[in-house]
Amino acid sequence: MSSEVVIDLRNLKIQQQKNLILDGVNLQVKKGEFIYLIGKTGSGKSSLLRTLYRDIELNGGEGTIVGFDLHKIKTRKIPHLRRKLGIVFQDFQLLTDRSIEDNLLFVMKATGWKDKKKMNEQVKKMLEMVNLETKGYKMPHEISGGEQQRAAIARALINNPEVIIADEPTGNLDTETSESILQLLLEISRKGKAVLFATHDSVLMDKYPARTLKCEGGKLTEMDSNSIGGSI
């Protein structure tokens, strides 16, 4: 794993409207790290992740991610930040009126790709990475939930991001499919990308232990690996 820090949060305050969600958040994430983010519903997991891609503004403290200062970033630069991040949601968020390939191409066009040959090569490469090389022509409703999430991961990887933010990506999937998605994200982290994986699934975490952070009582704390079971 590289020593390069891609997320650096210091004494961060996360607030929505007038509600303080998390206070005093300190976190460093290095390239190639895989990290679980746990906590009860409403504890601040999603708010922390949304802060990282600047869907929520900082209210105090300092934060940088992939070279961008979260406090000083101008609104027009937020799309540039998000191109360096891959974001995966629980409900896939694929465009239902176009094929899997066209979902990926849509993102590429929106983020400035122009060369059609290179675009098609990149789509092929990403679909191979997530084992969907024979499914690119299909519409989202024609493939399973697990395959849709794999397509969403391919889309998240299309611009070669430095950090993957996965917000409950296995929440709507069965146990076997959830495990295959987790294995895919672990493999992606081994190739040098930092992965933040928000989850409630203690069975997966016990089977594939990794650094774990917990949102609880307005704080973000690092968990001892021996005390994770039953604490989610």
Q: Does 152 reside within a domain?
A: yes
**64 within a domain of the structure (yes/no):** no
In a domain, 150, yes or no: yes
Q: What is the domain-level CATH number for residue 37? A: 3.40.50.300
pTM for this structure? 0.90
**Is 66 a domain residue?**
no
pLDDT confidence of residue 224: 78
Do the domain assignments include residue 63?
no
211-216 and 219-222 as β-strands: parallel, antiparallel, unpaired?
Answer: antiparallel
What's the pLDDT at 227?
54
pLDDT by residue, tens only, the chain of 232 residues: 557 999 999 999 998 888 899 999 999 999 999 999 999 988 999 999 999 999 998 888 999 999 999 989 999 999 889 989 999 988 888 999 999 999 999 999 988 899 999 999 999 999 999 999 999 999 999 999 999 999 999 999 999 999 999 999 998 889 999 999 999 999 999 999 999 999 989 999 999 999 999 999 999 999 876 555 545 5
The torsion angles phi and psi of 215, rounded to 5 degrees, stand at: -90, 120
Total domains in the chain come to 1
Give the end-to-end CA distance of the chain in Å, rounded to a whole number. 27
Q: What is the pLDDT of residue 90?
A: 86
* Structural domain contains residue 137: yes
Q: For residue 223, what is the DSSP state?
A: P
Residue at 110 is within a domain: yes
Report the SS3 class of residue 18. coil
Closest C-alpha to 164, from 221, 71, 84: 84
Among residues 19, 17, 43, the alpha carbon closest in space to that of 218 is found at: 43
What domain range includes position 50?
Answer: 31-58+74-226
Q: Letter for the amino acid at 80? A: H
Question: Is 100 part of any domain?
Answer: yes
Place of tokens 């949102």: 215
